[in-house]
Amino acid sequence: MKMLNRSAISIQLKQPFVDWINSLDEEGEQVTLEEVNLEATTYLIPELEDEDALEVFIDERHFELLENELLSWEDDDSYWPADMDRALFDEFLDVKLSFMVFDLDEQAPLLATVLDEVDDVD
């Protein structure tokens, strides 16, 4: 077991985000809060000391995180909310912090792919 020099945040959607998802195709199948949160997104972040440090991190990176969550549901940003500010982040997303992160995979080394450099993420 290896302890990583990272913390992690897990992001789950709140009801206003689900309402936005359902507004994208009102005639199509609608999703529920429970359904969308069966799988949370987890982000490895720099090691944080406390909740105050998390608030500073979110203040600095809220746009990037919100953008990624919206992109996972709709790639045309013209359908996204106009004000991508911290207030929208707080309205749409719930963040849970894990201070310590461990890697239990003894076989495979950690690898990274920078998404901005990938032509086709499918």
Specify if 118 maps to a domain: no
Give the rounded percent of residues in the chain with a pLDDT score beyond 90. Answer: 69
Specify if 112 maps to a domain: no
Specify if 115 maps to a domain: no
Specify if 117 maps to a domain: no
Confidence of residue 121 (pLDDT cuts 50, 70, 90): very low
Pairing of strands 2-4, 101-103: antiparallel
Give dist(CA 121, CA 24) in Å, integer.
Answer: 22
Specify if 109 maps to a domain: no
Specify if 77 maps to a domain: yes
Name the residue range of residue 11's domain.
2-104
107: its two tokens: 């076989």
Q: Which residues contact 24 (CB under 8 A, 6 or more apart)?
A: 73, 74, 79
For the stretch 15-43, pLDDT in tens is: 999 999 999 998 889 999 999 999 889 99
For the stretch 63-120, pLDDT in tens is: 999 999 999 999 999 999 999 999 999 999 999 999 889 889 888 877 778 876 555 5
What's residue 119's pLDDT?
52
Give how many domains the chain has, as a whole number: 1
What's residue 106's pLDDT?
83
Specify if 113 maps to a domain: no
